[in-house]
């Protein structure tokens, strides 16, 4: 069964460094998302992406964050200058074209980002 994959599974970085989290969505999907889960807290929406542009973003997704689909398969989240509070589990998700409008999202296993 096709699944969303994410790399790396765990990333440790120093405060102020740039990180890129990578995701490979399911191949025929058209909608892509990033969520994050700070340890012990709820999963929060960051951004959605469709047709090579951001369709919605949350207040968390400030100028330090960017997303890109550099080729036909990868979907990346870049954090330009990491802060301690960026430490979290980051989940990528993708969604197929769905004429019924139920928009089921399929989640990857997550990348745990630790900022020291």
Partner 1 sequence: GNSVTQMEGPVTLSEEAFLTINCTYTATGYPSLFWYVQYPGEGLQLLLKATKADDKGSNKGFEATYRKETTSFHLEKGSVQVSDSAVYFCALRGRDDKIIFGKGTRLHILP
**Which residue in the block uniquely carries the two structure tokens 């469709």?**
50
Looking at beta carbons only, is 14 or 53 nearer to partner 1?
A: 53
Binding region for partner 1 (CB under 8 A) out of 12-20, 39-47, 60-68, 76-84: 39-47
Burial classification of residue 92, based on how many CB atoms lie within 10 Å of its CB (0-12 exposed, 13-18 middle, 19 or more buried):
buried
Looking at beta carbons only, is 50 or 76 nearer to partner 1?
A: 50
By CB under 8 A, residue 107 contacts partner 1 = yes
Rounded to 5°, the CA angle 63-66-70 comes to 155
Rounded to 5°, the CA angle 103-30-81 comes to 100
CB 81 to partner 1: min, Å: 25
Q: Which residues bind partner 1 (CB under 8 A)?
A: 6, 31, 33, 35, 41-45, 48, 50, 55-56, 58, 91, 93, 100, 102-110
């Amino acid at each position: 069964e096709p699944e969303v994959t994410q790399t790396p599974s765990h990333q440790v970085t120093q405060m102020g460094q740039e990180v890129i989290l990578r995701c490979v969505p399911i191949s025929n999907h058209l909608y892509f998302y990033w969520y994050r889960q700070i340890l012990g807290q709820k999963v929060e929406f960051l951004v959605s992406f469709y047709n090579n542009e951001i369709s919605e973003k949350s207040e968390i997704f400030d100028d330090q964050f960017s997303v890109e689909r550099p080729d036909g398969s990868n979907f990346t989240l870049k954090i330009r200058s990491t802060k301690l509070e960026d430490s979290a589990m980051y989940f990528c998700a993708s969604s197929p074209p769905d004429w019924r409008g139920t928009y089921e999202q399929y989640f990857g296993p997550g990348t745990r980002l630790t900022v020291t």
